[in-house]
Structure 1
Amino acid sequence: MNLSQLSQNLNIIARRVGGFIRQEAQNFDRSKIEMKGFNDLVSYVDKQAEEQLVEGLRELFPEAGFITEEGTDTTKGERYNWVIDPLDGTTNFTHSLPIFCVSVGLMDGDEVVVGVVYDPSRDECFSAYKGGGAYCNDNPIKVSEAPALKDSLIATGFPYYDFGLTQQYLQILGAFMSKSHGIRRLGSAALDLAYVAAGRCEGFFEYNLNPWDVAGGTIIVLEAGGRLSKFTSDGDYVFGREIVASNSNIHSEMQDTIKEHWKQTAE
């Protein structure tokens, strides 16, 4: 399999679907929002964007199955699977806040080998494939060289439906506030990962995530020189529902800061 060519074609598909999302954003009707669960929004834009992605990716690589947020195709592949979030940042999108993206990762077994995160509002296409480096609009990107947490800007995501660990999370936020340049909450985990890869922030952490939130961005962080893990240990950060991403230099500091307050009993 030619990962370089596959990545190029994936970028084309992501850009095309992102163009559809950008067009729909101009006149989006908020009355068409549906609720999958408490604070869990979905729109026809999510669904149609996913259908377009599945159609294009099925043609691009017929051997691969799909893991999709909206359930457009649930056919699992024996070895390869596309992991798709057609519109990461739906809540932002429905409120006309232009921070959302298309995120797609290709998994070879348990490993993401190709990924793309396309931001249609800024026309920025972050992409990577295993061994090929990381890029934004064909320009190489690297993680920040900041040496310590005190020199760093940290991104995170706040709980929006499962509030059982809110107090612990607030304690972690407080710790990061006092140890870093500050915390940012963009509302799109995929873009948070892309921004770590591009050196715009030094670290990102969040829990209660799904594989489609992070799959596309993880390979971009790794190929940009970053590091990934779970909150307090190594492990499956794609399906493990929690992730720490960093420029590598501050990773241990981030994990130690989280470990001080994170006592999740359901690990």
Structure 2
Amino acid sequence: MVAISGLIRVMERAARKAGNRLRRDFGEVAHLQVSRKGPADFVSKADQNSERTLYDELLNARPDWGFELEEGGRIEGAPGMPRWVVDPLDGTSNFLHGIPHFAISIAAQEPKPDGSGWGDVFAACVYQPVTDETFWAEKSRGAWLQDARLRVSSRGRLADALIATGTPFHGHGDFDEWSRISGAIAPQVAGIRRFGAASLDLAWLAAGRFDGYWESDLSVWDTAAGCLLVREAGGFVTDYRGRSLPICDRQVLAANDTLHSRLHKSLAGALKGTSERVATKKPA
């Protein structure tokens, strides 16, 4: 059995405490659907309550660490100390509509030695309250689901691959960019799925349930934990230019080494075509 560090135990304990409340709140959502305003207000409060629980638990365990919170913003810690990157409810729209696919995401990120910003994520926890699954990883110690080691899928053919993504929606994302990428990738793969929770998409990729993933216009709290999970499960995570950043959020492309290369070629070709059309378009 894997030896779970004290840091991961802190993260999982906080996630489970917040998750217990989310699970109870989720059971109440269906009763609020008769009201147009009621469910949205209720879910907003559930999100805030989850973040408060996580903040209190993590602060108590590491009082000198900082925070990057979806709702509460940035809270500075002591100089030179790590920070928590927290999404208290990833998959809010699913939660609102009574769809049992949402998660809590917590990552621990170290500062750069020169103090110029933030460096690597060194611990991650993604907790799915409905299924009671804890995906976790530590830098150089692998990725795990409870006490089972995770590895990314070994599939090498796009024709066999199931790819996850997130689609743009009202007021969010670049639909033209997504359409061009999807148009390049979809004809080559076994299927594309959009489940609406980036942290779980990446956790499922680490577990081999998905074979690849792309999405853009995310935030650090959406992907911080998931990036480490995929990398520690043997996968590659980059932006659309192929750069391996500590946290890929504005652009994310993830898969095993073979599929990442093939997906990147298709994605880059789609975006290159867009750039060339823009560059050669004559002024009116």
Q: What's the TM-score, normalizing by structure 1?
A: 0.90
**Equivalent residue number for residue 40 of structure 2:** 33
- Structure 2 distance, partners of 1:129, 1:50, is 22
Asked if the contact 2:164–2:194 (Cα under 8 Å) also holds between the matched residues in 1, the reply is yes
**CA displacement at 1:249 relative to structure 2:** 2.2
- Give the paired residue count: 258
**Equivalent residue number for residue 278 of structure 2:** none
Asked if the contact 1:87–1:101 (Cα under 8 Å) also holds between the matched residues in 2, the reply is yes
- Structure 2 distance, partners of 1:124, 1:239, is 24
**CA displacement at 1:19 relative to structure 2:** 1.2
- Structure 1 distance, partners of 2:56, 2:148, is 28
In the TM superposition, 1:53-92 aligns within 5 A as 53-71=54-72, 74-76=75-77, 78=79, 79-92=81-94
**Equivalent residue number for residue 269 of structure 2:** 260
**Equivalent residue number for residue 280 of structure 2:** none
Q: Which runs of 5+ in 2 are unaligned?
A: 112-118, 276-284
> Which amino acid in the other structure matches residue 88 of structure 1?
D
After alignment, is 64-73 or 44-53 more displaced?
64-73
> Which amino acid in the other structure matches residue 147 of structure 2?
D
The structure with higher relative contact order (CA 8 Å, sep 6+) is 1
**Equivalent residue number for residue 19 of structure 1:** 20
In the TM superposition, 1:1-267 aligns within 5 A as 4-28=5-29, 29=32, 31-34=38-41, 43-71=44-72, 74-76=75-77, 78=79, 79-109=81-111, 110-162=119-171, 165-236=174-245, 238=247, 240-262=249-271
> Which amino acid in the other structure matches residue 51 of structure 1?
R
- Structure 1 distance, partners of 2:201, 2:173, is 24
Q: Provide Cα deviations, 1:113-170, integer angstroms capped at 9, x if missing partner.
A: 0001111111111001112111112211111110132221100001124467312311
**Equivalent residue number for residue 37 of structure 1:** none
Asked if the contact 1:231–1:258 (Cα under 8 Å) also holds between the matched residues in 2, the reply is yes
> Aligned in 2, Cα 1:152/1:140: closer, same or farther, shift over 3 Å?
same
**CA displacement at 1:9 relative to structure 2:** 2.1
- Structure 1 distance, partners of 2:44, 2:122, is 29
- Structure 1 distance, partners of 2:249, 2:97, is 29
Q: Provide Cα deviations, 1:89-123, integer angstroms capped at 9, x if missing partner.
A: 00000000011000010001211000011111111
- Structure 2 distance, partners of 1:77, 1:100, is 32
> Which amino acid in the other structure matches residue 109 of structure 2?
M
- Structure 2 distance, partners of 1:25, 1:142, is 31
> Which amino acid in the other structure matches residue 69 of structure 1?
E
Q: What's the TM-score, normalizing by structure 2?
A: 0.85
**CA displacement at 1:3 relative to structure 2:** 8.4
**CA displacement at 1:85 relative to structure 2:** 0.2
**CA displacement at 1:190 relative to structure 2:** 0.2
| Paired residue secondary structure (2:94) | helix
Asked if the contact 1:230–1:242 (Cα under 8 Å) also holds between the matched residues in 2, the reply is yes
Q: Give 1 or 2 for the bigger CA radius of gyration.
A: 2
Name the structure where helix makes up a greater proportion of residues: 2
Percent identity over the alignment? 35
Q: Provide Cα deviations, 1:39-98, integer angstroms capped at 9, x if missing partner.
A: xx9610100000000000011112210000001662355331100000000000000001
> Aligned in 2, Cα 1:204/1:218: closer, same or farther, shift over 3 Å?
same
> Aligned in 2, Cα 1:212/1:146: closer, same or farther, shift over 3 Å?
same
- Structure 2 distance, partners of 1:262, 1:42, is 37
- Structure 1 distance, partners of 2:59, 2:202, is 26
Which stretches of structure 1, 4 residues or more, deviate above 4 A after TM superposition? none
> Aligned in 2, Cα 1:179/1:106: closer, same or farther, shift over 3 Å?
same
Cα RMSD (Å):
2.2
